[in-house]
Amino acid sequence: MASRIGFLLLILMFSGCSIVDPLVYKLPKQQGNITDYKDIDKLEMGMNKAQVKFIMGTPMAVDSFNRDRWVYAYTYKSAKGDWTRNTMVLLFEEGRLNKIEGTPVMQRKEDEQVTGQS
Protein backbone atom coordinates (compact mmCIF):
# COMPACT_ATOMS: atom_id res chain seq x y z
CA MET A 1 0.00 0.00 0.00
CA ALA A 2 2.79 2.41 0.93
CA SER A 3 4.61 1.66 -2.36
CA ARG A 4 1.44 2.51 -4.36
CA ILE A 5 1.06 5.83 -2.55
CA GLY A 6 4.76 6.57 -3.10
CA PHE A 7 4.40 5.71 -6.81
CA LEU A 8 1.35 7.99 -7.15
CA LEU A 9 3.19 10.83 -5.40
CA LEU A 10 6.14 10.35 -7.75
CA ILE A 11 3.85 10.53 -10.80
CA LEU A 12 2.14 13.64 -9.42
CA MET A 13 5.51 15.29 -8.81
CA PHE A 14 6.67 14.70 -12.39
CA SER A 15 3.37 15.82 -13.85
CA GLY A 16 3.69 19.02 -11.86
CA CYS A 17 6.94 19.98 -13.59
CA SER A 18 4.96 22.23 -15.90
CA ILE A 19 4.04 24.28 -12.83
CA VAL A 20 7.72 24.80 -12.04
CA ASP A 21 8.59 25.83 -15.63
CA PRO A 22 7.74 29.55 -15.19
CA LEU A 23 10.12 29.67 -12.22
CA VAL A 24 13.08 28.55 -14.35
CA TYR A 25 15.18 31.41 -15.74
CA LYS A 26 15.38 31.51 -19.52
CA LEU A 27 17.98 33.49 -21.42
CA PRO A 28 16.82 36.42 -23.54
CA LYS A 29 17.15 35.86 -27.28
CA GLN A 30 17.96 38.45 -29.90
CA GLN A 31 18.17 37.87 -33.62
CA GLY A 32 18.75 40.06 -36.62
CA ASN A 33 20.24 43.48 -37.20
CA ILE A 34 20.35 45.95 -34.33
CA THR A 35 19.69 49.31 -35.94
CA ASP A 36 20.65 52.44 -34.07
CA TYR A 37 20.08 56.15 -34.68
CA LYS A 38 23.84 56.76 -34.54
CA ASP A 39 24.20 54.53 -37.62
CA ILE A 40 21.11 55.91 -39.36
CA ASP A 41 22.32 59.48 -38.80
CA LYS A 42 25.40 58.59 -40.87
CA LEU A 43 23.23 57.61 -43.84
CA GLU A 44 22.69 60.18 -46.54
CA MET A 45 20.27 60.03 -49.43
CA GLY A 46 22.15 59.22 -52.62
CA MET A 47 24.73 56.90 -51.01
CA ASN A 48 25.53 53.80 -53.04
CA LYS A 49 24.85 50.28 -51.77
CA ALA A 50 28.47 49.64 -50.73
CA GLN A 51 28.53 52.75 -48.56
CA VAL A 52 25.22 51.82 -46.93
CA LYS A 53 26.38 48.26 -46.29
CA PHE A 54 29.58 49.60 -44.68
CA ILE A 55 27.52 51.66 -42.22
CA MET A 56 24.53 49.36 -41.59
CA GLY A 57 25.99 45.92 -42.21
CA THR A 58 24.51 43.17 -44.32
CA PRO A 59 20.71 43.29 -44.49
CA MET A 60 18.64 40.41 -43.09
CA ALA A 61 16.82 40.09 -46.39
CA VAL A 62 17.10 41.39 -49.90
CA ASP A 63 13.88 41.06 -51.88
CA SER A 64 14.56 38.54 -54.66
CA PHE A 65 12.14 40.34 -56.96
CA ASN A 66 13.39 43.83 -56.10
CA ARG A 67 17.14 44.05 -55.39
CA ASP A 68 16.67 47.71 -54.45
CA ARG A 69 14.77 46.85 -51.23
CA TRP A 70 16.87 45.92 -48.20
CA VAL A 71 15.21 44.75 -44.99
CA TYR A 72 16.87 45.06 -41.58
CA ALA A 73 14.79 43.00 -39.15
CA TYR A 74 15.32 42.53 -35.43
CA THR A 75 13.51 40.39 -32.86
CA TYR A 76 14.08 40.20 -29.13
CA LYS A 77 12.47 37.78 -26.71
CA SER A 78 12.94 38.70 -23.06
CA ALA A 79 13.42 36.17 -20.30
CA LYS A 80 9.76 36.72 -19.38
CA GLY A 81 8.63 35.83 -22.91
CA ASP A 82 7.79 39.35 -24.12
CA TRP A 83 8.54 39.92 -27.81
CA THR A 84 9.91 43.05 -29.48
CA ARG A 85 10.03 43.24 -33.28
CA ASN A 86 11.43 46.05 -35.40
CA THR A 87 11.74 46.24 -39.15
CA MET A 88 13.57 48.89 -41.10
CA VAL A 89 13.52 49.00 -44.90
CA LEU A 90 16.02 50.84 -47.07
CA LEU A 91 14.90 51.55 -50.62
CA PHE A 92 17.32 52.26 -53.46
CA GLU A 93 16.70 53.82 -56.84
CA GLU A 94 19.29 53.28 -59.58
CA GLY A 95 21.72 51.92 -56.97
CA ARG A 96 21.43 54.97 -54.68
CA LEU A 97 19.69 55.24 -51.30
CA ASN A 98 16.32 56.87 -51.87
CA LYS A 99 14.10 56.22 -48.84
CA ILE A 100 14.22 54.86 -45.27
CA GLU A 101 11.10 53.26 -43.76
CA GLY A 102 10.52 51.89 -40.28
CA THR A 103 12.08 52.66 -36.93
CA PRO A 104 15.44 51.73 -35.47
CA VAL A 105 15.71 49.50 -32.42
CA MET A 106 17.72 51.90 -30.27
CA GLN A 107 16.46 55.39 -29.44
CA ARG A 108 18.41 58.63 -29.30
CA LYS A 109 19.37 59.72 -25.80
CA GLU A 110 17.21 62.87 -26.07
CA ASP A 111 14.21 60.70 -27.08
CA GLU A 112 14.73 58.58 -23.97
CA GLN A 113 14.71 61.67 -21.75
CA VAL A 114 11.53 63.01 -23.33
CA THR A 115 9.66 59.71 -22.99
CA GLY A 116 11.14 58.94 -19.58
CA GLN A 117 12.63 55.63 -20.70
CA SER A 118 16.14 54.55 -19.80
pTM of the model: 0.63
Domain-by-domain residue ranges, the chain? Answer: 25-115
Which of the following CATH numbers is that of domain 25-115: 3.40.50, 3.30.1450, 1.10.3470, 3.30.420?
3.30.1450
Q: Which residues contact 29 (CB under 8 A, 6 or more apart)?
A: 75, 76, 77
Per-residue pLDDT for the chain (118 aa), expressed as one digit of tens each? Answer: 778 888 877 777 766 665 656 667 778 888 887 777 788 888 899 999 999 999 988 888 887 888 899 998 888 888 877 888 888 899 999 999 999 988 766 554 444 444 444 4
Contact at 8 Å (CB) between 106 and 37?
A: yes
Integer Cα distance of 107 and 41 in angstroms:
12
